[in-house]
Amino acid sequence: MQKIVHLKSKKHSMIIKVGRVPEILHWGANIAKIDPDLILSTERPISQARLDVDVPLSLCPELGSGHFNAPGIEGHRHGEDWAPVFEMKALTCDEQSASFTLEDTVAKLELLIEVKLDFNSDVVQKRITVKNVADKEYCLGKLSSTLSLPNHANELMTFHGRWCHEFQTQRLSFEHGGFMQENRRGRTSHENFPGLFVGSKGFSEQVGQVWGFHLGWSGNHQLRADVRSDGRRFVQAGELLLSGEVHLKEGEEYQSPWLYATYSNTGLNGISERFHEFVRANIIKFPTKKARPVHLNTWEGIYFDHKPEYIMQMATEAAEMGVERFIIDDGWFIGRDGERAALGDWYLDEKKYPNGLEPVINHVNEQGMEFGLWVEPEMVSEDSNLYRQHPDWVLSLPGYQQPSGRWQYVLDLQNPDCFSYLFDRLNDLLTRYNIGYFKWDMNRELVQPGHHGKPAVHGQTKALYRLFDELRLAHPDVEIESCSSGGGRIDFEILQRTHRFWASDCNDALERQAIQRGMSYFFPPEVMGAHIGPAECHSTNRRHAINMRGVTALSGHMGVELDPVKESAEEKQAFAHYIQLHKQYRDLLHSGRSFRIDPADQSQNIYGVENGEEMLITVCQLAMPNHALPAPLRVRCVEKEATYEVKIVEMPHTSFQLMKQRPQWLDQTLTLSGDNLEEIGVTLPILDPESALIVHLKKM
Ligand code: GLA
């Protein structure tokens, strides 16, 4: 007997037909009521010259039932039980969640498929658990979450990247075949962000139907989108397990990471709106409800050259500029004079800090700032006391010499002694010093990640989460930033335990425009670390005026990363100006609804945030404009009948090169109604390449 499960949220429905296995019939716009003929009207024909039975594209497709694309589960028992076919055993559900228990009595496996639809945000969560119910061990190769999509989802948007170039996007046709991403780097990675979008042809920021996906996992993953030869299509995501990584004894279980997904009929804006709402309500746990403090991070200012007196001078000047949290980056611990040594020796370098760290921290606190410290706990340098004492604490494979990365190795967190050492060192730092914030870095990939010779990325990732969890339990008020050579570990699961991401080591404002835009599809601005760097960017040698740098950093969780002592009075004044502007709009930026506007000219990046009362829109001219005159800025996200005060709150400070005469309104406040703003828009000045302006709208 077939049954229907109807999950409902504020705006969406997911309708699942439950026969031998559960299968999605609809996932998208709200369906008011289930028609009695729904099952009949969705019955599929059977095509000539193929299997004689209909094969459902279920929530866990099976090879053994005739699904010839990627199965949801793979594994074996010494070569047997490798093609399980499941049958529904039990179902529990309400309007927002369903749990399907399935069994295969031949292969002796049980599956628990959990699907939840968050009422407020319309975000779906799905995970699968497999249990071995035989007395013979089962070697699991794969357990992924599958969600099917309608046939008009025929265009893909995927992510790629590398160090200093995170969150880059590409479009692919999605008519035949598919897309597959395998991440084997042992961390979320710059290269393979675990997310993608599928939508109706040409979907854009503001237009089209889109389904968005993100796997919350910080280790290896596999993410794919496939179109079957019969036109049915699906997205599948799960942990990528190395050969022999997971063995289940009788009664043991493996649980997949959560797959997060949502639907929008207002383009990518509807997707990011929903992910942000979900993340704000369910993932981020700030210890207190304070405003996100403006940072100064010492890295690009002084690198490894630590002199306490000088750092205190930096702190004084930082506070004068309006900085609220001062972070000492790499270089503070014993023997850390460069990147080749000392990771693992988490004791203060008393040669650099003969009077201890306390005077610096006290000084920072006296300036009214919180103090933060950089750590990279999972790592060890070959040239370190820790490595000399415990070379066997490294994740490695006996008999092989693995390559180092940044001259360092990864510690085996599943080794209990190593785990306790790290917990004790971090706990000691947090107990001894008044530290409000850790920047937790992770600067290399996992190569030959063996624990007692066995593959261990799964175990390492779980142990890492446990290290975070135990520390946070002991120090609940401390905030943590997830950094991994910039944006190498950005995902929802690490965000359950952290409070900010270092989006990229690239502080080049032009590059940041693309990086931050890509990141903004999933993560709200308050967790996106964005810093004003020096005029000449350290990672690209490109130069930008302060307008471009200030505006770009302003819309995230803002900071500065340079040596204020060495900057001119004029630059310092400008930093203070952008910090002040950020603080003025910080509440709006960090709680409002973020959106992006489809630009008429691809040389512009236009994005904003609004809360019903106010709106802030940034127009960034990335490159030479396409036409001599820019298209008017048409603002869609407003109430049509309301009246708004519109004014420019930030413009390039240098003289304009491409514009002879500016529109008069730039120096005035306009009063415009919602429909005028949406249908006619306001003219913009001709911006020179790599400059930006900010418009503020206030409902009257
Ligand atoms: C990584 C981080 C940087 C900085 C350095 C310090 O590269 O991404 O922000 O902290 O390490 O070594």
pLDDT digits 0-9 by tens, 324-365 = 999 999 999 999 999 999 999 999 999 999 999 999 999 999
Query: How many angstroms separate the alpha carbon of residue 485 from the centre of ligand 1?
Result: 5
* pLDDT at residue 92 tops 70: yes
Cβ–Cβ contacts within 10 Å for residue 403, how many? 9
Query: Backbone phi, then psi, for 198, in 5-degree steps?
Result: -125, 135
Whether 133 and 69 map to the same domain: the answer is yes
Residue in 189, 190, 330, 440 to alter for ligand 1 test, most ligand atoms within 8 A of Cβ:
330
Give yes or no for a contact between 54 and 74, defined as CB atoms under 8 angstroms apart: no
Whether 274 and 324 map to the same domain: the answer is no
Whether 434 and 542 map to the same domain: the answer is yes
Name the helix (H) or strand (E) containing 250: none
Residue 220 lies in a domain: yes
Q: How confident is the model at residue 1 (pLDDT cuts 50, 70, 90)?
A: low
Whether 129 and 245 map to the same domain: the answer is yes
Q: What is the pLDDT of residues 620-642, one digit of tens each?
A: 999 999 999 999 999 986 789 99
Residue in 164, 296, 299 to alter for ligand 1 test, most ligand atoms within 8 A of Cβ:
299
Give yes or no for a contact between 651 and 620, defined as CB atoms under 8 angstroms apart: no
User: What is the pLDDT, as a whole number, of residue 72?
Assistant: 98
Q: CA-CA distance, 449 to 457, in Å (whole number)?
A: 6
Residue 627 lies in a domain: yes
Q: Is 393 annotated as a binding residue?
A: no
Indicate the residue among 228, 256, 283 that finishes a domain.
283
CA nearest ligand 1 atom 6, residue = 330
Residue in 187, 189, 485 to alter for ligand 1 test, most ligand atoms within 8 A of Cβ:
485
CA nearest ligand 1 atom 2, residue = 485
Query: How many angstroms separate the alpha carbon of residue 490 from the centre of ligand 1?
Result: 15
Query: How many angstroms separate the alpha carbon of residue 556 from the centre of ligand 1?
Result: 19
From residue 406, how far is each of 59, 85, 461 by CA, in Å?
Answer: 42, 47, 21
Whether 251 and 362 map to the same domain: the answer is no
CA nearest ligand 1 atom 12, residue = 330
Kindly give the number of the ligand 1 atom that is closest to the alpha carbon of 486: 8
Q: How confident is the model at residue 241 (pLDDT cuts 50, 70, 90)?
A: very high
User: What is the pLDDT, as a whole number, of residue 662?
Assistant: 93
Task: Name residue 109's amino acid.
Answer: L
Q: Is 466 annotated as a binding residue?
A: no
Whether 273 and 305 map to the same domain: the answer is no
CA torsion angle for 339, 293, 466, 340 (degrees, to 10)?
Answer: 0
CATH number of the domain enclosing 657: 2.60.40.1180
User: What is the pLDDT, as a whole number, of residue 636?
Assistant: 84
Whether 524 and 411 map to the same domain: the answer is yes
Kindly give the number of the ligand 1 atom that is closest to the alpha carbon of 485: 8
Q: Is 505 annotated as a binding residue?
A: yes
Query: How many angstroms separate the alpha carbon of residue 529 from the centre of ligand 1?
Result: 13
Cβ–Cβ contacts within 10 Å for residue 244, how many? 11
Q: CA-CA distance, 6 to 92, in Å (whole number)?
A: 12
Give yes or no for a contact between 700 and 671, defined as CB atoms under 8 angstroms apart: yes
Whether 573 and 602 map to the same domain: the answer is no
Whether 102 and 184 map to the same domain: the answer is yes
Q: What is the pLDDT of residues 177-236, one digit of tens each?
A: 999 999 999 999 999 999 999 999 999 999 999 999 999 999 999 999 999 999 999 999
Q: CA-CA distance, 605 to 596, in Å (whole number)?
A: 8
Q: Is 508 annotated as a binding residue?
A: no
Query: How many angstroms separate the alpha carbon of residue 80 from the centre of ligand 1?
Result: 47
Indicate the residue among 236, 255, 283 that finishes a domain.
283
Residue 250 lies in a domain: yes
Q: Looking at the annotation, which residues are catalytic?
A: 441, 505
* pLDDT at residue 44 tops 90: yes
Q: For residue 605, what are the domain limits? A: 595-699
CATH number of the domain enclosing 229: 2.70.98.60
Query: How many angstroms separate the alpha carbon of residue 652 from the centre of ligand 1?
Result: 31
Whether 425 and 551 map to the same domain: the answer is yes
Residue 9 lies in a domain: no
From residue 380, how far is each of 214, 413, 455, 617 by CA, in Å?
Answer: 31, 12, 19, 45
Indicate the residue among 218, 250, 283 that finishes a domain.
283
Q: Is 440 annotated as a binding residue?
A: yes
Residue 31 lies in a domain: no
If we measure between CA atoms, which residue out of 376, 420, 418 comes closest to residue 394? Answer: 418
* pLDDT at residue 37 tops 70: yes
Residue 276 lies in a domain: yes
Q: What is the pLDDT of residues 523-569, one digit of tens each?
A: 999 999 999 999 999 999 999 999 999 999 999 999 999 999 999 99
Whether 650 and 539 map to the same domain: the answer is no
Q: What is the pLDDT of residues 255-305, one digit of tens each?
A: 999 999 999 999 999 999 999 999 999 999 999 999 999 999 999 999 999
CA nearest ligand 1 atom 4, residue = 299
Whether 689 and 675 map to the same domain: the answer is yes
Q: Residue range 668-682: average pLDDT?
A: 96
Q: Is 439 annotated as a binding residue?
A: yes
Query: What is the average pLDDT score of the chain?
Result: 97
Residues 6+ apart with CB under 8 A from 444: 379, 404, 405, 406, 408, 409, 410, 485
Residue 194 lies in a domain: yes
Cβ–Cβ contacts within 10 Å for residue 293, how many? 19
Kindly give the number of the ligand 1 atom that is closest to the alpha carbon of 339: 12
CA nearest ligand 1 atom 7, residue = 485
CATH number of the domain enclosing 374: 3.20.20.70
Residue 46 lies in a domain: no
Give residue ranges with CB within 6 A of ligand 1.
Answer: 299, 329-330, 374, 441, 443, 483, 485-486, 502, 505
Taking only Cα atoms into account, the Rg of the chain, rounded to an integer number of angstroms, comes to 27
Structural domains counted in the chain: 3
Q: Where do we find the tokens 């190769």?
A: 141
